[in-house]
Structure formats: structure tokens, C-alpha cells
Structure 1
Amino acid sequence: MQKLLTDIASTMQQENERGKVADYIPQLAHVDPQRFGIAVALPDGQLFTAGDASEPFSIQSISKVFSLTLALGKRGDGLWSYVGREPSGDPFNSIVQLEHESGKPRNPFINAGAIAVVDAIMMRHEPKEVLAELLSFVRFVANDESICFDHEVAASELAHKHRNASLAHFMKAFGRLEHDVDKVLGTYFHQCALAMSCTQLAHAGLFLVSDGVNKATGTRVVSAQRARRINSLMMMCGHYDGSGEFAYRVGLPGKSGVGGGILAVAPGRASIAVWSPGLDGTGNSLLGTRALEMLAQETGWSVFGH
């Protein structure tokens, strides 16, 4: 495994085509597109890494996996009255579908859906309290107390919030949000500004590898059924309108973020995190996807059989 990761990292370093960093969030525009990291965490606690695997980056939409897990814990299947479970086929910040579907977002991983999930977990609490709960949950699943929010990235997103604010106000107009729009958005931007390294992210995904249990720490995070359902949503919706392409090429549940990270789950086998800041046309890490494709081919890890 170590040799494989080292080979993947050196192959990725030689790539000339690296995608384009997310420049609509100014703090993300400064990230060096040459960076590449990969980490693979096994259920028994073994960890393999290559490249910039210990460098923290803005996980952005990967955080939606953790807020979804929290929301299901609080709301159970009641969550699905807030948000659907279907792939969108539209860009992650599209407003078109909301208009056709009475303000109910298609799934928890597009921006509108993630904003609805944040609203669902707030339950009359202030953003500070909600964020403290989210942070302690992420630290718990990653077994790492050092994980923090990047407040500069959050401020950068808040200053360029208009697209997401329009989604939130649109949902509010349909009576879909219970809380004050500005409070929901403030919570959402901070959630997306979680900073983690590939190593921390790979550890955080371990509960999705083993039916809801992090075997390395011996703790049950969610039920087996819930872990499977979260994985199924990651498979269908985790890469926005590139989800089908990712399933075709990699064959694993995954969730990407515009910071260039991807968390992928090989059920029963491993939790994998990659990071390369340059994005493809659908907002997914260009080299991160290639690296996962190489890994899946070499290991035979795919939910669609060997």
C-alpha cells in the first residue's frame, strides 16, 4: 500500500494539467495548485500517506457528510421533509431546481440542500452552539482534538455570499427554513471552512467503512443502516453533477469539496482522503479524482465488484 501511494503521488506531481483552483472564494484562490496529498486509513488503525497528507486545507463541502450525519441523529427520517435524496444533475449552486420543486432541495450535498440540513440541526440554538457541536463531532470521529475552523476562509465566504444567500432566501420564501437566514448562512459558511489534513479526514471517514463503527477507536458512531444510507447518498450525489462520472471511474462513495479535497469510502476496506486544489469543470479535484481512479484500479476496491 505504501509503495502504491508513493507511486500515485509521484505520478500526480508530474501531471501538467492540474485544473483550476476555486477563485470565487478569494482565500482559496491563493492555494498552491502544485500541492497533492493522499491518506488511506484501514479499519485496524493502520495509516498510509504520501505527498502533502499532513497539510491542512479547507474541506468545504466534504463537511456536509458530517452535518448530514448529525442531522440524521437529531431528526431521523424526519430530515427528508427538509431535503430530498435524488441526484441533482445541476451545478452545486444552482437555483433552477428549487423553483420547480417548491424550494425543497434535491439532496443534502448541493449547497441548497446543505443549507437546509444546517437549518434542521440548529433547533433554535445560536450559530456558536451549533458550530461547537459540529466541531466536537468532527473531532470525535477523527479522534483528533486539534481540528479547527479556518475563520479567514469563513469570512471570505461571508463576504462573497450572494449566491448562497439567494438560495437560502428562496427556500425561506417557500417556508422551508425555520431559522433566520443570516444565522443559517453564518453557520453554513463556518461549517464549510473546517480545515483538515488528508490524514485527519481519512480517520474521520472510518465509521463509514465498518457499518457505523470506528474500529480503530472501538466506538459506534451511527447504526449500520444509517452508515449504508450515508454512503449511498455519497455515491449518488457526492460530486454534484459529476457524480455519475466519479462512480463510473472510481466506483466508490465519495464527497468532494471546492478546496480540492475528496473523501472516499471503500466499504469494509478503507477510508481514503486526497487533496489537490485544482478543480475540473464540475468543481471536483482533477488530480484527486485521477488518483482515486488509480488507487481503485490497483486495489480492485469498487462497490461494483472486482
Structure 2
Amino acid sequence: MEGTPKRPSNQELLLNEILQEALALPLSGEVANYIPALASVNPNQCGIAVANLDGQVHVAGDADVPFSIQSVSKVFGLALAMLRMGDDLWQRVHMEPSGQAFNSIVQLEWEHGIPRNPFINAGAIVVADTLVSHYSASKNALMSFVRGLADRPEIAVNQDVFLSEKQHGSRNAALAYLMKSFGNIEADVEDALDHYFYQCSIEMSCRDVARSLSFLANRGVQPHSGDTIVSRRDAHRINAIMQTSGMYDQSGEFAFEVGLPAKSGVGGGIVAIVPNYGVICAWSPRLNQYGNSCMGMYMITRLAEKLGLSVY
């Protein structure tokens, strides 16, 4: 990182200024509607949180409102799978940008059932399969991991979203069965999918997400507990995949404009890692054409600009 990021004297004042700028923008984007339980979310909510490495969390707007983290959950799943599988994981899922839609079947067929990276749906289903295969109760293991990272035992799954995911998950099922045909799903397909849908249905607030992923800004060590969550090498690897593949087909543009490892979800959340500084999480449900939060993108971009947060 060039130089040291600025630490404003009043972070919450700055966050509120950026939040008000975002709220003043012309309305754009639509709430995700292919999962009916997400379509009913109030589209006008907007929040942002910054968790610094000193343990302080600064917030503005709806930063304490729980939302469906959706694909942001893929970061937690990946970290847990890397802990359990080590380098063997990379025989089953690669670490390259896909250049295709996040739920592409065609690319998976070409590449013999090996997903390009763990943040497209096929890759995350492989990660879910490794967890189902290596834990007797994989969903409990994941929830315990997430709750511990956030230091919030009350974090839970939204059951309505979970059921909605399962009822409208035909394309994900197609991906899973195709990978099974290539021998890249070891558990029962329905069990792997059940874990994947459950993981996507976790509800957290901006404050929770920013705090929970602080270890990725601190070389694998969780600042508020001092616990080593992943090795320094694995923290580097997770951040690298977030940088290249975390923002769907807008990952290159986000790297170009903002310059931070990040992961988004169609629930409207975006988390961005600032090494040696902290973690930003922004949330607003209206999504752009790539599936990324319109106001979330704006707020993180503005904060990065104002504080010089790019890793480049």
C-alpha cells in the first residue's frame, strides 16, 4: 500500500457525510427478485460500518440492521474450508477470474467440472461440499465459526430466505449435478446444496460483517480476540481472490476504481478489506446490472478516495 491511509479525527461524521451523499443520489437499481424472500426487503435502507484494527467500529445509517449476506458468506465458507482442507482444496476449485456469469453452466462443462474460483456459485458449492464431507454437522460448524468471528452468538439464518433459496435453486442444482457427473462433488448433492443455501441465508449487520472479517486486514489474526484465524499466507490468498473475483463481473472495474479486495452479495452487502487498517461493510438492497449494491459501491468508493485506501 502506498503511504499510510488517513485516520479522520471523526470517522462517524465522515461516514454520515458519505451516507447522505449516497441517499441524495438519483434512485437506481433493483432489489434482487429471483429469490422471492429478498424481493420483499425495504429497498431504501442504507448503512455503512468501518471496523478498525484497534477494535473500534464506526457506523452510519442502517449499519445495525441485519440483512441476508448471500455471497458474502462465501468468504466464511472459503476460510473454513482452507483450514480443513489445506492445499488439497485447490485441486477441486481454481483461483482464476471466470469472465462468465456467476452461475454459468457452459464454462463448467468446458472445464470438466472444476470451477474457476470459489466465489462463483459452482466454486462455492464445491466449498460447501468439502465442509459437508469433513464435518459431521457442517452447518453448525459454519455458524459457530461466524458467530465466533463476530463475537455475536445471536447471529442466525433467516428461515424464510433459506426456504426460498431451496425452492428457487434449480440452476444451482444443475451446477452441482454437473460437477457430480465429473466426480467433483463427494457428498450427496442435496446435502451440499442444503449447506450452500443455508450459508447464503445467514443474516448479519454491517457492523457484524466488518468486525467478523477483520482478521483479513490483520494478516490472519482477529484483532479483538488476538486469535489466529488463518495463516498469513491464507489471509493473503483470500484477499487476492476477493480482489480478482469478489465483485462478480465488476471485479476488474472495482480494482481499477477502488483498489481493495472486496466481496459482494445480492442481499445488497459489500465488504472491502483494507490491509493494516480495517474492514468496510456497506449495505443497501438496490443492485446494479452486475448484482452489486448501487449505494454500497458509491459509499465504499468515496471512503476509499477520501482516505487514500487503495492497496495499489
**TM-score above 0.5:** yes
Spell out the pairing of 1:1-306 with structure 2 (5 A cutoff).
1-123=11-133, 125=135, 129-304=137-312
**Alpha-carbon separation, structure 2, partners of 1:177 and 1:289:** 34
SS at 2:281 equivalent: strand
Instruction: Spell out, residue by residue over 1:191-248, the C-alpha distance to the aligned partner (whole angstroms, 9 max, x if none).
Output: 0000000000010110001100112221111111111111001000101111101111
Contact kept, 8 Å, 2:48 with 2:283, in 1: the verdict is: yes
What is the CA–CA distance in structure 2 between the aligned matches of 1:164 and 1:264, rounded to whole Å? 26
Q: CA deviation at 1:146?
A: 1.2
- Unaligned runs of 5+ residues in structure 2 are 1-10
Q: Cα deviation per residue 1:236-276 (whole Å; 9 max; x = unaligned)?
A: 01011111011112110000000000111000001111001
Supply the AA of the counterpart residue of 2:264. S
- Report the CA distance between 1:91 and its aligned residue: 1.1
Q: Number of residue pairs matched?
A: 302
Contact 1:18–1:33 (CA under 8 A) maintained in structure 2? no
TM-score, length of structure 1 as denominator length: 0.97
Secondary structure of the equivalent of 1:10? helix
Tell me, in whole angstroms, the C-alpha distance in 1 between the residues paired with 2:50 and 2:38: 25
CA deviation string 1:96-122 (max 9, x = no partner): 110110011000000000000111122
TM-score (norm 2): 0.95
Letter in 2 for 1:279: L
Provide the C-alpha distance between the structure 1 equivalents of 2:240 and 2:169, rounded to a whole number of angstroms.
Answer: 30
Letter in 2 for 1:16: P
Query: How far is the alpha carbon of 1:47 from its aligned partner?
Result: 1.1
Contact preservation (8 Å) 1:124, 1:179: no
CA distance in 1, matches of 2:238, 2:276: 15
d(CA) in 1 for partners of 2:223, 2:74: 23
- After superposition, the C-alpha distances for 1:60-89 in whole angstroms (9 at most, x for unaligned) are 000000000000001001000110100011
Residue identity in the other structure for 1:63: S
The list of structure 1 runs, each at least 4 consecutive aligned residues, that deviate by more than 6 angstroms after superposition, is none
Q: Distance in 1 between matches of 2:22 and 2:297?
A: 11
Q: Which runs of 5+ in 1 are unaligned?
A: none
